[in-house]
Amino acid sequence: MSSILVKGGHVVTQNATREVVEADVLIEDSRITKVGRVRDSADEVIDARGDIVMPGLVNAHTHVAMAVMKGIADDLPFGDFLDKVFAVDARRQDRDIDAGARLGCMEMIRSGTTTFVDMYYSEDVIAKAVEDSGMRGVLCWAVLDQQFTTQKGVPLDNCKRFHAAHKGRRRIVPGIGLQGVYVCSQETFLEAREFALENDLLLHFHLSETRKEVYDHKDKTGKRPAEWLAEIGFLGPQCLAAHAAWLTMNEVKALSRAKASIASCPVSNMKLATGGIAPIPEMLAEGVNVSLGTDGSTTNNSLDMFGEMKALALLQKSSRWDPTVVRAQQALDFATCGGARAVGLGGALGSIEAGKLADLVILDGRSPNLRPMLPANIVANIVYSGNPGDVKTTICDGKVLMRDRELLTLDADLVLADADEIGKELLRS
């Protein structure tokens, strides 16, 4: 049994009472076994005195392989943006998908994310990159009607094959990634739901990201997307809806009744100027579980969950003219325990407690943006002042992926060189 002792940090536990304590954290194999004063020895000791120790962040919606596509379609009207991205995406090959996945994993490790939810095709290629990186990936194979896809074969069948080949792996969690109501029929939604329930899989899907999506679907079916998904019997606790920016109160209540989760992506939606602001206060009031995602690097350009926490809180405050909505603690919840619950791992991730999986990050207590550092302001400093440059050490599943800003699982120089080469090819097109 291998062990790691994280010694003497300011531990943001994210436990039920949201305690912030000065404590040691003992990790044995993949689990946290003690939080408090630890006198036992360990194979590896990490001195965290003066630093912040917090749970690894959960990015609840992204397209990691698009990391090599950042800057390819910026500052364009939404229709032109889609045309350009889809044209490039349709001819991607395994080599550049792998390069993008590795670049994205490297960025997330450096910025404190230990678990992410991905929606893409070729998740088998992405899974290899995730395994090499040491991260945990909830990898949802993109599913849509065959008439709309560039995949070879039937997308849901491809998803089933991916699940069969990767189920039971330690840090790879297969899921189903339904593209959205605009390319998925009722039959596709319900067949995916049946397979998900049979195999205890996450159903991840884009929902009400744009006004056009909502009103096109209403013209077609007479129902808004979330109403329609509830009516056909699709929604349930296994559902994680990305964006959810154009919802009515009836739709919020439908999500609540189904015990579904949402992954808000404020930076992506603001950058694309698609309008709509997820009704987070109403969701919280109705008991909808809220998590947070960056979306892909074509719409956000970054996989920075610190920036996402701040953006979500500020967008909600500004749009409501109310500085009390989405407090710092709530924003941190969305990026940790909310994300863990959204992917069905609330009992294993999202907080620093004995028995939980050892996913945690250490922030540099000497960062001036995190000072003064007091128990009363640490959470606010993380959300409103924190940034990826504060992350010193990242641990996932009891394994150190980065220590003192040195990446230990991926060859950083090779990842960057491959990304530049692929990026040049994509940007020329």
- CA 101 vs CA 62, 138, 296, 409: distances in Å: 11, 13, 11, 14
At residue 72, the pLDDT reads 84
Asked if the model's pLDDT at residue 429 lies above 60, the reply is: no
pLDDT in tens, 300-338: 999 999 999 999 999 999 999 999 999 999 999 999 999
Bridge partners, residue 113, by sequence: 57
- CA 109 vs CA 4, 10, 408: distances in Å: 18, 21, 10
Residue owning tokens 């929902």: 207
pLDDT in tens, 73-99: 888 888 888 888 888 877 788 999 999
CATH fold match for the domains 3-55+350-405 and 57-342: no
Res. 423 pLDDT band, cuts 50 70 90: confident
pLDDT in tens, 361-377: 999 999 999 999 999 99
Q: At what angle do helices 155-166 and 123-133 cross, to 10 degrees?
A: 30
Domain extent listing, the chain = 3-55+350-405, 57-342
- DSSP string of 278-299, one letter each residue: --HHHHHHHT-EEEE----TTT
Answer whether CATH 3.10.20.90 is correct for domain 57-342: no
Q: Say which CATH topology domain 3-55+350-405 has.
A: Urease, subunit C; domain 1 (2.30.40)
Bridge partners, residue 7, by sequence: 47
pLDDT in tens, 6-35: 999 999 999 999 999 999 999 999 999 999
For 185, list phi and psi in degrees, rounded to 5: -80, 170
Length of the chain: 429
Q: What dihedral angle (degrees, nearest 10) is formed by the CA atoms of 327, 328, 331, 335?
A: -160
pLDDT in tens, 221-239: 999 999 999 999 999 999 9
pTM over 0.85: yes
* Lowest-confidence segment of 86-95, 243-252, 276-285 by average pLDDT: 86-95
* Closest by Cα among 2, 11, 109 to 45: 2
Asked if the model's pLDDT at residue 122 lies above 90, the reply is: yes
Question: Which run of H or E residues covers position 214?
Answer: helix 211-221
